[in-house]
Chain A
Amino acid sequence: MIPRYQKVLFVILLVASLAMAGELWHLRQRAHQRLLAGEDSAPTQAPEVAPAEQATLLVANDADASLLAQARSLPLPADPGARARAILGSLLDLYAVSGSSHPVPGGASGIAQVFLLAVPGSKDSPDPGAQLAVVNLTGNFVAGHPSGIETETLTVLSICGTLHANLPRVTQVRFLVDGVQRATLAGHADLTRTYLAAEAVPSEGSNP
């Protein structure tokens, strides 16, 4: 026979456990909402109040597998990461319009974030200010990307080349998709390796 006080204690503890579980779930939801709100507030579009600056976009062309430098006047934020994101967004917007030389759906929203980090071990290297750009692509952009060696290679190289052309300290580029590493872009181009940005910058109109 279980004493009455033990039954009461058990009920109290059970209610307390359920209440704490509910509170924990509520806090988790709030943290998730806060995270999403933080993502939304990230600059997806360059603010119009920023002064327009010249940016160089390396635009891919599927017809001859070339990367052609195009100068654009864009309002760019001062923060280097946001600046890189705005420039790459402008590049992907070019690919999303109908009749594009390198048709890829998605546009600027395909770039979730661009992180600029010091290249590991660069302090002892001849270029101590070298930076590694980590480009976080969205899953939707990758899911909609056409599959093929040529088209995927051109997308990767045009992103690397555009970053290096506008932020010369960026010497290496890595890719993530929704924050995690992914094997390939759409079945072909390797996204696990570190790309050397300078190698993507071609001579005028030549194949990469």
Chain B
Amino acid sequence: MNGKRRLFWVLVAVCAAASVPPAVPAQAPPTPRFVVVLDAAHGGDDPGARLTSGQMEKTVTLALSVRLRSLLAARGMQVVTTRESDSTVDPNRRAEIANHANAQICLSLHATESGSGAHLYASSIAPAQPTRFTAWKTAQSAWVTSSLRLSGVLNSSLAHAGISVILGRTALPAIESMTCPAVAVEIAPERDSDNAISAQPDDVAYQARVASALAAAVVQWRTEARQP
């Protein structure tokens, strides 16, 4: 009888020991992830602009997205892209992808044959305080102020790289529904002082300069975001 009771208490002790969680060594809180959404505009059935070189805008934006993704991933950022191939993606779907990613930056990449340098466009929606329920078509309104600030950081970086920049605001369906600091970056041909084209948007070296400048701006934005 005593033997059974002893066995019972041994089993209870073993079960109690097993239920106690092992001691976890104290860890520093993890650094919050920094997510960047790259939206290569157009694609699939929607070719976008036809550039002077004959290239379609959708091809140029995808190439820039791939290049920029590599640069940002090498700097330890998590990059979410709206497309990885020549596929049709609805503007609403692009915003859905960006919003699900909880991104700190959303860049919509475009290319054109008009104008010169880089065009940076933030949404023209009037700024508004964030509310619990936000209208889909004007979801960007709570982020417009941040988007304009991001536009300024991108402007400084591109200008530092010797690329002329035009800042503006527009009504672009894809970014109007994004709930993140969102800027549309449109690459136009690079022109010299005589207004002659020195590099097309599909020029590899020109794209590399633009991508490097954008990556530097994103790093700058991350640094500013992490400062207390």
Given A65-B119, A149-B186, A150-B168, A184 and B173 touching (CB < 8 A)?
A: yes
Which residue of B is nearest A187, CB measured?
B48
Contact B115 A62 (CB under 8 A): yes
Residues on the B chain within 8 Å of A146, using CB: 49, 112-114
Decide if B171 is an interface residue (CB 8 Å cutoff). yes
- Among A173-208, those with CB < 8 Å from B are 183-184, 186-190, 192-193, 195, 199, 207-208
Q: Known: A148-B110, A149-B121. Is A65-B171 also a contact (CB below 8 A)?
A: no
- Chain B hits for A188, CB < 8 A: 110, 170, 172
Whether B184 sits at the interface, judged by CB under 8 Å, is yes
Q: Count residues on chain A whose CB falls below 8 Å from chain B CBs.
A: 26
CB of A147 within 8 A of chain B?
Answer: yes
B interface footprint on A120-153 (CB within 8 Å = 1, 0 otherwise)? 0000000000000000000000000011111101
Chain B residues positioned under 8 Å from A65 (CB to CB) = 115, 119, 166, 168
Quick check: A153 and B113 within 8 Å, CB to CB? no
Q: Are B119 and A149 in contact (CB under 8 A)?
A: yes
Kindly state whether residue A23 has any CB partner on chain B within 8 Å: no
Q: How far is the CB of B91 from chain A (nearest CB, A)?
A: 8
Q: A65-B166, A189-B171, A189-B172 are known contacts. Are A150 and B113 too (CB-CB below 8 A)?
A: no
Q: Given A187-B42, A199-B124, are A148 and B169 also a contact pair (CB < 8 Å)?
A: no
Chain B min CB distance to A194 (Å): 10
Contacts of A63 in B (CB 8 A): 115-116, 195
- What sequence of 0s and 1s flags, for each residue 169-188 of chain B, a beta carbon within 8 Å of any chain A beta carbon? 11111001000000010101
Whether A64 sits at the interface, judged by CB under 8 Å, is yes
Q: Is B86 an interface residue (CB 8 A)?
A: no
B interface list, Cβ under 8 A from A? 42, 46, 48-50, 57, 110, 112-116, 119, 121, 124, 137, 166-173, 176, 184, 186, 188, 195
Q: What would 8 more interface pairs be, CB under 8 Å, given A63-B115, A148-B112, A208-B168?
A: A63-B195, A65-B166, A148-B114, A150-B188, A151-B112, A151-B114, A153-B171, A189-B171
Question: Which residues of A approach B to under 8 Å, CB–CB?
Answer: 62-65, 103, 146-151, 153, 156, 183-184, 186-190, 192-193, 195, 199, 207-208
